Amino acid sequence: MGLPRRTTGLVLAAFLLCGLVTAPATAATAFKVLQLNLCNSGVAGCYQGGLAVGEAVTMIQRRVPDVVSVNEVCLSDLPRLTAAVGATAEYRFAFARRKSTDSNIECTDGRGAYGSGIIVKEGIRTSGNGTYTAQDSGNEVRAWACALSDVRGFTACTTHLSTTGTTALAQCRELVPATVLSYDPTGSATTRHVVVGDLNLKYSPGSATNAQNCVPSGWFRKGDGDVQHVIARTLTFVSTQVYAMSRTDHPAFVVNYTF
């Protein structure tokens, strides 16, 4: 009669030990966003003969981002920048328009249309671009571009907003959330989105043009301490870094997330 009692005890001990062993947690996936403003139109005083593009390529290669937003660039700059992101990377361009002629603003020296680009490392399934209803009294018509990624189904958008604060805030509210969400084919509350760019708005609590006033419920913002921001949804924030750039008047801004 003793043997069955010992066997029962061993089985019970094994059962209790198994209860202490849990399946390993799924590792979080890193997701990195890089924001750049390269001042490469050839018109502004911060232009340095196109050298900002090479500096941006080096920054991309060192930081290895999943998404890159780049403002104040020429359309001819995008292939080089996209190649630096990766072999599968693709871009969408936001064409800045000239109000007086209803034509694209052109970079100097025949370098093509001027505007902003969104680059997605894993490629793009669908994308679009457009201009805002709200515009200031200047001659530049501000624009946006959005892309749905080809593999993981997140949406990434870039923009460069008006230098008039009230107009910039109105433009930002046009983009977030309605335009961004229009690129989510599922309509799901769990789809990841990042809106990246030079918003020409600062985090300034109490100000009518506080950048935070553009952040809808359920979204969150991270900034570089000045005018560059990322507004995101359904991502876990990890950290930010700001890196000096010598060939443009804006630093490189990195936001690290996981999901």
The pLDDT, as a whole number, for residue 25 is: 63
Q: Does any domain span residue 228?
A: yes
For residue 188, what pLDDT is reported? 79
Residues 147-189 pLDDT 10s: 999 999 899 999 999 999 999 999 999 999 999 999 887 777 7
What CATH number has the domain bearing residue 149? Answer: 3.60.10.10
Q: What is the pLDDT of residue 186?
A: 79
> How far is Cα 243 from Cα 253, in angstroms, rounded to an integer?
6
The predicted-structure confidence for 112-121, as pLDDT tens digits, reads as follows 999 999 999 9
Instruction: Give me the residue label for tokens 């052109």.
Output: 106
37 pairs with which residues across the strands?
71
Establish if 17 belongs to a structural domain: no
Q: What is the pTM of this model?
A: 0.90
Q: Is residue 19 part of a domain?
A: no
Share of the chain above pLDDT 90, in %: 86
Are 42 and 107 within 8 A, CB to CB? yes
On whether residue 8 sits in a domain, the answer given is no
Q: Determine contact, residues 233/223, Cβ cutoff 8 Å.
A: no
Pairwise CA distance, residues 222 & 245, whole Å:
19
Q: What are the mean pLDDT values of the chain's consecutive 10-residue runs (259 residues total)?
A: 44 44 72 98 96 98 98 98 98 97 97 98 97 98 97 95 98 97 83 96 98 97 98 97 98 97
Whether 6 is in a domain gets the answer no
- Structural domain includes residue 105: yes
- For 237, the domain range is 32-258
Does residue 16 lie in a domain region?
no
The pLDDT value given to residue 184: 85
Structural domains counted in the chain: 1
DSSP string over 58-87: HHHHHH--SEEEEEEEEGGGHHHHHHHH-T
